[in-house]
Structure 1
Amino acid sequence: MAEPFRLPPKGPVQAYQTFAVRSPSDRMVKAVCEQVGCPAWRQGWESVIDERTDLGKAQAAYIRGQSGRTFREQLRGDGFTVFRFESGQRCFAEHQTRPELYLVRDGDYRGNPTGRRRVHVRPGDWVEHMQEEFGRFQDDRERG
């Protein structure tokens, strides 16, 4: 893989900070529908259940009594029950995603001279940290 194009740095490596988002390629974590952009969560969904079978009876009983989801129920003429779930609630799938690490370290591509490294727990904290640093950079730039 070729090295990316970089402008030559104007300052020493100690004058820089690197902000990065990384995802470990070998690990998956459970995720909620909203995190993975689940279409059922965004648009709602229907589950068509055949209550004439033991499995269908168990599924319908779970939906009605234990699922904790909001739905409308309609009995079709062919004996199937349609459960219509509104958007904005967790679907029945088990979603997974790769976790993201929100990193800040001293230095740039030439290295990290201090060895300092920070991992933010929340993406919002990482963004706020970056905005503060850019604000400081802008203030220094305006001062000359």
Structure 2
Amino acid sequence: MINRIQPVGTVRDYQTYAIASPRDTQIKAACEEVGCAHWRHGWRTIVDEATDLGKRQADYIRTQSRRTFREERNAAGLTVFTFESGQRCFADHRTRPEVYLVRDGDWRGNPTGHVRRHTRPADWVEDFGEHQQRVVELINKG
């Protein structure tokens, strides 16, 4: 059983801020969103162009990858591609989406049925901060 403090005001006096993730749902995500180490620090890809696979990999990097890199040969004769940080790596990252909600009411219900979804986390944070500021102003008024 959940132990909840009885609110001072009516259910109409409250707003509920929530972050939810749909169950069993994954979406493709950018390197920056998932904290990819390659995106953050850069990376090196070493390719053996003496093999068919290595030739195809090097050709893809040079002509189709659309990434910025430096190319050099190492002592073993392998091609080393060095990619700077801040660009998408070659992995397909996946993450669970987050839904940023603001609804009227509290745990007792939503009397108006009004629910707002923010598309960006920063907007949700800004909305929450502005709401908290309004609460502080009301408290200071007495």
- Fold equivalence (TM over 0.5): yes
Which residue of 1 is the match for residue 138 of structure 2? 140
Structure 2 SS opposite 1:63:
helix
Alpha-carbon shift at residue 128 of structure 1 (Å): 1.7
Aligned position for 2:87: 89
Equivalent AA in structure 2 for residue 46 of structure 1 = R
Partner residue of 1:17? 15
Bigger mean CA offset, 38-47 vs 128-137:
128-137
- Unaligned residue ranges in structure 1 (runs of 5+): none
Alignment of 1:43-82 (within 5 A): 43-82=41-80
Deviations, residues 99-137 of structure 1 (Å, cap 9, x unaligned): 110000111111111111111111122112112211211
3-state SS of paired residue (2:76): coil
Normalized against structure 2, the TM-score is what?
0.94
Pairwise CA RMSD? 1.2
Is the 1:52–1:79 Cα contact (8 Å) retained in structure 2? no
TM-score (norm 1): 0.93
Shift, 1:56, TM fit: 0.5
Compute the displacement of 1:79 (Å): 2.4
Once the two structures are superposed, the pairs formed by residues 91-130 of structure 1 within 5 Å of their partners are: 91-130=89-128
Q: 1:4-49: CA deviations, max 9, x gaps?
A: x533211111111000111112111111000000011011111110
Q: Secondary structure at the match of 1:124?
A: helix
Instruction: Name the SS of the counterpart of 2:100 in structure 1.
Output: strand
User: Unpaired runs of 5+ in structure 2?
Assistant: none
The correspondence of residues 34-49 of structure 1 with structure 2, limited to 5 A, is 34-49=32-47
Query: How many correspondences in the alignment?
Result: 142
